[in-house]
Structure 1
Amino acid sequence: MTRTAPPEEKAPEGATTAAALHTGTSNVRELLTRNMRQSGIYVAFVAIVALFAILTDGVSLSPINITNIILQYSYILVLAIGMVIVIIAGHIDLSVGSVVALTGAVSAVLVIQQGMPWWVGILAAIAVGVVIGAWQGFWVAYVGIPAFIVTLAGMLLFRGLTQQVLGNISLSPFPAEYQEVATGFLNGLFGGPGYDVFTLVIGALGVAGYAVSGFRTRLARITYQQPVESFPLFVARVVLVGVVVMYFAWQLANARGLPVVLIILGVLVLAYGVVTRRSVFGRQVYAIGGNLSAATLSGVKVRAVNFWIFVNMGVLSAVAGIIFSSRSNGAQPGAGNMFELDAIAAAFIGGAAVTGGVGTVVGAVVGGLIMAVMSNGMQLMGIEQPIQSAVKGIVLLLAVAFDIYNKRRAGSAR
């Protein structure tokens, strides 16, 4: 006797619609939650720029002031690039300010005291940064001492070495070629009626690169059936970024042109953006910070990756030391004081997670720019330094609180 299978029950039309609506709502919620950290930081940056433009009657957006912001805070942005990678891996580095001081001191002794060429001082500073990074990476990766302790010891050690190298005195001035690293400009390469065309061309290329990269990322997510923002929203975001970038490029073009240090910073952002998002090393860094046990079981060479993370931080600290000593036209025993806190704050404000595994290079740079705009704006308003420190502390606290809130909301949604 053949048994006939019962006919499939058809869901009511209203139930199907409700399920579809629920699925669509979930996809939108997932998209908003996933993009909130990155998108929110850009919105906050634009809002803060607009706020201080109003409070300072437009002075904060003047060509000269925008140029000064880039020159004054470039070394913090360089440190933030390295610091966010350290934080993504679940570590912290408290020694970067002392490394900035020591590398600048070594460069000053060789160039100012010994009379060597300016480029020798730069190479020597970078070499010292590599050695320092390898020293700290060894203790963290192969001995197993927590990075907090190793870099805290490094902060004291390298500050003492700085005082020893300088003989507890300041050295200045550097040759003009060395000063060009932080204070030089590329101006007049293409000419222009009252403004620098080259700066505008570089800005346009940057916007085009951002648009192409964003479009390729969007196509890749669609290919893997991941939720993406609507195309009009994507276009609006690219246009907004393009307008902001070209506005700043126009301001720079009407001031002194394109700062050399901005070119250095742009190259670092592009290079480390590719490393963190496209390379095996970058994926391993995220894996270690996200789930150390899973990364180890997956075959990630955790010790080697951690070692090179700190070598990289040492190199970027040396670059920041070169920029800072170039801008200050000398080396001082107290140089770099509290720089580590500014770099850490930039990384967290830019979206890095306290527990590791989350963060982007661009986000850290934007976080650093937020700190720079706030500091510069409050200085223009004549606000006292203690109040400035208090405001920056509150902003950092709110950024970390926002990160924790997002984690709890994501956990409760599962």
Structure 2
Amino acid sequence: MEPVRKISSSKAENSMIDVIKNVAKSNVRQYAMLVALVAIVILFQILTNGVLLLPMNVTNLVLQNSYVIILAIGMTLCILTGGNIDLSVGSVCAFIGAIAGIMIINMKMNIALAIVACLLIGLVIGIWQGFWIAYVRIPAFIVTLAGMLLFRGLTITMLKGLTLSPFPEKFQLISAGFIPDLFKGLGINLNVTALLLGLIISLLYLYLQVKGRAERQKYNLEDVPFGLFVIQLVVILAAVNVFTYWLAAYKGIPVILVLIGTLTAVYSFFTTRTISGRYIYAMGGNEKAAKLSGINTNKVLFLTYVNMAVLGAVAGIAFSSRLNAASPQTGVNFELDAIAACFIGGASAYGGVGTIVGAIIGALVMGVLNNGMSILGVGSDMQMTIKGFVLLMAVAFDVLSKNKSKS
């Protein structure tokens, strides 16, 4: 009986290895970029003699890249519809920032009212561009290129080529404020609220993952081995709590991080757990098949670009708050940063493939590269060269892996 035990054990080990290989293969883009992000962080941590992961610098990474993350979330949906992109988001950010500056600084308008007005203007911009793209079927590249020129010109006209500043302190808190520590009087040098928030997020994530695994097993759906499941949980929970510890060691949870976290949760749920979200993937996979299945592809495309413009307005408000000014030069190359973040994070250039989390990973890769090279004193010309090379390699990886799967 002993040889039989050894054979069955060997088969079990082989089957587990096969499952792990299948999981890695089905998520190759996202896992590859996650590994790349960790490798880049370790590299710059060594090269900068530990400066990169100082609590203050980790917080600055969040603040500096908040607008890229917000734009990348919206850009992901555009790319999912079929590899479409929005070239106007940088100019929309500048345009919304200029409107916010005129309303708040010049007209002394109530900040909350001005923000609502800016978001509504972003909605109108999205309706304008979405109509031409979805219903007239002018290529998104052309429509948004026109929008890039149009809104940049309007921004310069409104500001008369000058920078408008400063914004009131309350407006600046959008990108420079922190959640107050509810336990400040305890005499602890760390922000306890940040630590507790990390613990709450960890428990919530643990509950959802365990519940999801139990449901998959209940219906006999394919799932990762228990050992791999535990490893994933440990790694993610450790990452969450280490990150919140870094934040707690500085000033706590930035207000803009709460906004980013909320957007990430909402859009991740939308794309993975709702019918409308799956429509976007279906359209990107094969628009003709999606239309024949009864999906209103024009409506999906229209709402995607409306959503992108609204998130462009959000990013414009956030960036103006951080810059503490409305400038004609705001938003230059923002669209390129957002597009690069999506492709680096695993979105397919053909559409139908990509995740919100992947786009955020891509944005963090770009952010760490920018921050690390700046600390090392690398010139802006070389920074652009390196980022361009990284983007090319990410898209080449996508194309080659897709071709390999076909063969």
**TM-score, with length taken from structure 2:** 0.93
- Counterpart of 2:60 in structure 1 is 68
Distance 1:22 1:182, change over 3 A: closer
- Counterpart of 1:39 in structure 2 is 31
Distance 1:223 1:36, change over 3 A: farther
Distance in 2 of aligned mates of 1:168 and 1:126: 23
Identity %: 48
- Counterpart of 2:371 in structure 1 is 376
Contact 1:89 1:357 in 2 (8 A): yes
Q: Does 1:350 align with 2:345?
A: yes
Contact 2:19 2:225 in 1 (8 A): no
- Counterpart of 1:168 in structure 2 is 161
Distance 1:40 1:219, change over 3 A: farther
Distance in 2 of aligned mates of 1:220 and 1:156: 50
Contact 2:347 2:353 in 1 (8 A): yes
Residue 120 of structure 2, aligned match among 100, 118, 127: 127
Contact 2:165 2:324 in 1 (8 A): yes
How far apart are 1:138 and its partner, in Å? 0.2
Deviations 1:63-92 (A, max 9, x none): 110111111110110000000011011111
Distance in 1 of aligned mates of 2:245 and 2:15: 45
Contact 1:99 1:318 in 2 (8 A): yes
Contact 1:110 1:120 in 2 (8 A): no
Q: Secondary structure at the match of 1:346?
A: helix
Contact 1:111 1:120 in 2 (8 A): no
How far apart are 1:366 and its partner, in Å? 1.1
Amino acid at match of 2:225: S
Residue 204 of structure 2, aligned match among 206, 209, 212: 209
Residue 85 of structure 1, aligned match among 77, 84, 108: 77
Distance 1:130 1:198, change over 3 A: same
How far apart are 1:133 and its partner, in Å? 0.6
Distance 1:330 1:256, change over 3 A: same
More moved, 174-183 vs 207-216: 207-216
Distance 1:203 1:27, change over 3 A: closer
How far apart are 1:23 and its partner, in Å? 8.2
Contact 1:106 1:124 in 2 (8 A): no
Deviations 1:18-61 (A, max 9, x none): 99999887655433210222222222222211111111111100
Distance 1:219 1:44, change over 3 A: farther
Q: How many residues align?
A: 397
- What does 1:101-112 correspond to in 2, within 5 Å? 101-112=94-105
Residue 225 of structure 2, aligned match among 207, 230, 245: 230
Residue 187 of structure 1, aligned match among 180, 190, 202: 180
Distance in 2 of aligned mates of 1:345 and 1:136: 22
- Which entry has the higher C-alpha Rg, 1 or 2? 1
Distance in 2 of aligned mates of 1:21 and 1:73: 43
More moved, 217-226 vs 103-112: 217-226
- What does 1:240-389 correspond to in 2, within 5 Å? 240-389=235-384
More moved, 50-59 vs 183-192: 183-192
How far apart are 1:246 and its partner, in Å? 1.1
Amino acid at match of 1:57: N
Distance in 1 of aligned mates of 2:204 and 2:54: 26
How far apart are 1:313 and its partner, in Å? 0.3
Distance 1:282 1:54, change over 3 A: same
Distance in 1 of aligned mates of 2:233 and 2:79: 28
How far apart are 1:219 and its partner, in Å? 4.2
How far apart are 1:206 and its partner, in Å? 2.2
- Counterpart of 2:3 in structure 1 is none
Question: Unaligned regions of 5+ residues in structure 1, if any?
Answer: 1-17
Amino acid at match of 1:304: K
**TM-score, with length taken from structure 1:** 0.91
Contact 2:282 2:352 in 1 (8 A): yes
CA root-mean-square deviation: 2.1
Amino acid at match of 2:93: V
Distance in 1 of aligned mates of 2:13 and 2:342: 37
Q: Secondary structure at the match of 2:87?
A: coil
Distance 1:269 1:312, change over 3 A: same
More moved, 202-211 vs 85-94: 202-211
- Counterpart of 2:42 in structure 1 is 50
Residue 391 of structure 1, aligned match among 374, 383, 386: 386
Distance in 2 of aligned mates of 1:132 and 1:148: 16
How far apart are 1:218 and its partner, in Å? 3.7
